[in-house]
Every structure is written in C-alpha cells, then in structure tokens.
Amino acid sequence: MLTWIRLALALAQLLNSVLRRIEQRQWEASGYRKAMVDELTAINASVGIARASFDEAAKATPEERRRSLKEPI
C-alpha cells in the first residue's frame, strides 16, 4: 500500500513539473514575461529614486527641510 502511495506522489510531482514547464513556455510566448520584466524594472527604478530621496531628506537639517517644503516642486 505504501509503495502505491509513493508511486502516486512521484507521478503527481512529475506531472506538476511538466505542467509548470508548459505553462512557462506559454507565458514567455505570449509576451507576459517581457512585460513583467519591463514593469519590474520601472518599479525598481522608482523605489531606488524614493530611497535616495528618503536618505537625502534624512540627512537634511531642520532648516533645510522647512525651506524645501516652502519651495514649489
């Protein structure tokens, strides 16, 4: 009985692996992968700019902060 369960589990894992590969090929062929890579690149750039701005603001003196808040963007 245990052998049949192990065999069924191994078969399920093999099937899962095959389906994952097929799904990834379809995803790449449809252009979603490139679109997601482009979108993530843009998001990472925005996060980098925000982090740099945050670090710069953290280093500013209280007077510099007040002055920057009064200036138009």
What pLDDT is stored for residue 41 in this prediction? 92
How far apart, in whole angstroms, are the C-alpha atoms of residue 5 and residue 25? 30
Average pLDDT of 36-65? 89
C-alpha span between 44 and 38 (Å, rounded): 10
pLDDT value of residue 73:
62
Cβ atoms 60, 68 nearer than 8 A: yes
Domain ranges, ordered by start, for the chain: 1-30, 31-73
pLDDT tens digits, 9-29: 999 999 999 998 888 888 778
* Cα 70 to Cα 34, 43, 49, 59, 64, distances in angstroms: 42, 29, 21, 18, 10
